[in-house]
Chain A
Amino acid sequence: MSALLEVRDLRLQFGGVKAVDGLSFEVRTGEILAVIGPNGAGKTSAFNCISAFYLPTSGSVEFDGNRIVREVPGFWRRLGLTHLLQSFGFYRVLPSRVTKWGMARTFQNLRLFRELSVLDNVKTAMHANLREGFWSTLLHTPGYRRAEEACAREARGWLDFVGFAEDENLYVTQLPYGEQRRVEIARALATSPKLLLLDEPAAGLNFNEKQSLMELIRKIRDMGVAVVLIEHDMGLVMELAERIVVLNYGKEIADGTPEEIKNDPVVIEAYLGVDEDEGGATSTARADGGRS
């Protein structure tokens, strides 16, 4: 199995803060990878670099044969125009392009389109795959009608796939939280991805919703989509992930199967902290169920 996503020595600095500090990992086709780490460990920053929302300070990200991190030529860099050029889309890859290559993502705090209906939210994600031009939209040609019909059918297929159980014409703000999560996953799937990045998909879900989420993620994996998820719920991660990458202070401290991670002393130390007196480590452990 070849690597679908290859992250090498990724670094991201905000002023003096090293949000991501030398992260390297790969994702292979059709696997479920979890990225875990204490809050502020740089998980979401790393996600944002991979999906091209942030421009990393250095390092390389390669997805399905495409380089996501680009270099600004030295000439422009010396003139100090790096930021200006990149903010206008030169010498960088736009997140929309990464999505077209087949990487979809969800956001930590739900970011659905609030003034669009559920169906339109999912249709929006099919933007790049839709054959509709300016004139065909203005004139409502048969081709346009077919495209719209196919788009609606596909969107409904995804809504059914994620088990969305409400009226598709509702506005997303009218939905309960769990259903909004489903719509967000349906929307990400509608971009037709090879790799799906889920940023805390289980946050705020109850036990049953988490169970169905796990089932859904396995179903997605079975379609041949690689899934990378950031999650705080250890139960879910241990049960679902085939491989786990652990981050702390922007550095990767472990990479292995759930069994290996569970017994890794470095990971336990990062999560529990080190106490001066031996045996005190467990006293800092918390028994509440994480952020949910």
Chain B
Amino acid sequence: MAGRLDQALKHAPLRAPSPLFDRPRAPRGVFTSQTGFLRALGGLAVVLLLVLPFMDASRYTMSIATSALIYVMLCMGLNVVVGFAGLLDLGYIAFFAVGAYVSGIFTTVLGFPMWLSLIATICACIIAGIIIGAPTLRLRSDYLAIVTLGFGEIIRITANNLDITGGPSGIHGIPSWEFGGWSFDDGFSIGGIEFPGYVVFYYFVALVVVVVGVIGAGRLGKGKMGRAWKAVRDDEDAAEAMGINTYIAKISAYIIGAVWAGMAGQLMATHLSAISPNSFQFLYSALILMAVVLGGMGSTPGVIIGALFVSLAPELLRDFAEWRFLIFGVLLVVVMLFRPAGLWPATAVLPWLKRQKPQPPPFTSAVSAVDHGEPTVPPSVMESVDGLPATDAEEGRQP
């Protein structure tokens, strides 16, 4: 076993001695472990979402649900950039725009099939991620935010002025997804249940993409690259000192964020079949960022809750007519006042899993035995050795 494990690591000149004792295996049950509970919760949510169209397949509900799912996808991508890697991005909607426009142009102007436009979208987003990522590598927080803000506006204004993007009126008539002659518009029926063509299919496609996106982003956040992102977020210099190339870590965070947003853009373009520069205003960048911060930066369940809140709350508040955005704003302020780290912070532990007292390891090594023992020599002995006193802060630069 140890031999196979050794091969999992690259050759390194210095290897750790074996651990002195075996740690107890982490519990795995639904109610005894955090991951188990989150998995169960996620599974339950997916089942509920799968059942939803069978309860209410009205155009309104499906449309709202699909756009909520697209928001979740966007927020998961932004969570990689802002939550994991700590790169404040105020122009994130630009990647969404790149995804939507590339898929729109490839399917309408160039007449490519859907799967080819999907590949083109991913490639374009990777390139966009590098283009925005590279110049901002040496920038931090506020400066970075301003540059990304500029990038977001550049993309929107470019789309507004180019001919190929249809100018201010955008691109219309983006075709539905087709599989061998059958298109999403056709719909079909199984066993007497009619599956109408309009939005139900996009809902299901969005659901699949979002499930993959959420699980994928979560897994990336836990692996080697995820740790590198979080290290860069917490302390860039220390991360660099740990052998993490912070340029690569940041660029990869941008690329992952861009691809996630691009997928969301592709979904939206085919779902609405029309896009225009108005859909990519700064307001939406702010809204998505707000969802991430509101939910809890770096926390997958938190970000999903934040995305659902931001996308669904204005709809649920429709009864209040012109008051709804005021109420929405007040709700945000209240949430941030009472939960400043977000609705479900990344460091949150389920209340029933909180341990009263951390378990110290059942050993005392030679080193720690010295540490916890009683002093044997009074500290004053250490103060100066043979006429060479320890330095003091003020003594540094005496003439």
- Chain A interface residues (CB < 8 Å from chain B): 37-41, 51, 53, 87-89, 94-97, 99-100, 102, 104-105, 107, 111-116, 120, 123-132, 134, 137-138, 140, 143-144, 146-151, 153-171, 178, 187, 189-194, 206-212, 215-216, 219, 223-225, 232-236, 238, 249, 261-262, 267-268, 271-273, 282, 284-291
Contact = CB atoms under 8 A, between A and B. Distances in A.
Contact of A95 (B138, B216, B241, B346): B241
Contact of B16 (A107, A138, A154): A154
Nearest to B23: A156
A96 B246 contact: yes
B346 A115 contact: yes
Given A113-B230, A271-B388, A163 B396 contact: no
B399 interface: yes
A193 B21 CA distance: 24
B230 A116 contact: yes
B139 to A, nearest CB: 10
Contacts of A209: 371
Given A131-B10, A215-B367, 9 more contacts: A99-B243, A124-B230, A153-B16, A208-B372, A212-B371, A268-B388, A273-B399, A286-B395, A289-B382
Interface in B1-18: 4-10, 12-18
Given A51-B241, A146-B8, A189 B388 contact: no
Interface of B: 4-10, 12-21, 23, 137-138, 216, 219-220, 223-228, 230-231, 233-235, 237-247, 298, 346-347, 358-361, 363-368, 370-373, 375, 377, 379-393, 395-399
Given A207-B382, A234-B389, A271-B395, A102 B13 contact: yes
Contact of B223 (A53, A97, A113, A144): A144
A134 B282 CA distance: 31
Contacts of B398: 38, 273, 284
A163 B368 contact: yes
A236 B383 CA distance: 10
29 contacts: A38-B395, A51-B241, A53-B240, A89-B247, A96-B241, A96-B242, A99-B240, A99-B242, A100-B243, A102-B13, A112-B238, A124-B227, A125-B243, A128-B10, A151-B9, A153-B18, A157-B17, A160-B361, A167-B360, A207-B382, A212-B371, A215-B366, A235-B382, A235-B383, A273-B395, A273-B399, A285-B387, A290-B390, A291-B393
A230 to B, nearest CB: 11
A209 B372 CA distance: 9
Q: Top 7 A-B pairs ranked by shortest CB distance?
A: A290-B390, A157-B16, A39-B396, A163-B367, A167-B358, A192-B12, A99-B243
Given A163-B371, A190-B16, A287 B383 contact: yes
Contacts of A189: 14, 16
Contact of A150 (B6, B234, B377, B384): B6
Contacts, number: 294
Contacts of B391: 37-39, 232, 271, 290-291
B385 A238 contact: yes
Contacts of A88: 137-138, 247
B16 A158 contact: yes
Given A96-B240, A111-B238, A127-B242, A223 B379 contact: no
Contact of B383 (A111, A212, A288): A288
A177 to B, nearest CB: 12
Contact of A288 (B9, B234, B247, B392): B392
A158 B365 CA distance: 13
B189 to A, nearest CB: 35
Given A131-B8, A137-B219, A212 B368 contact: yes
Nearest to B20: A160
Contacts of B364: 165
A58 to B, nearest CB: 23
Nearest to A39: B396
A106 B143 CA distance: 28
Contact of A207 (B20, B226, B379): B379
A193 B15 CA distance: 9
Contact of A162 (B245, B358, B367): B367
Given A125-B242, A233-B390, A192 B19 contact: no
A209 B368 CA distance: 9
A124 B20 contact: no
Contacts of A134: 220, 225
Instruction: From A147, A160, A187, A288, name the one whose CB has the most chain B CB atoms within 10 angstroms.
Output: A160
A17 B376 CA distance: 45
Contacts of B227: 116, 120, 123-124, 127
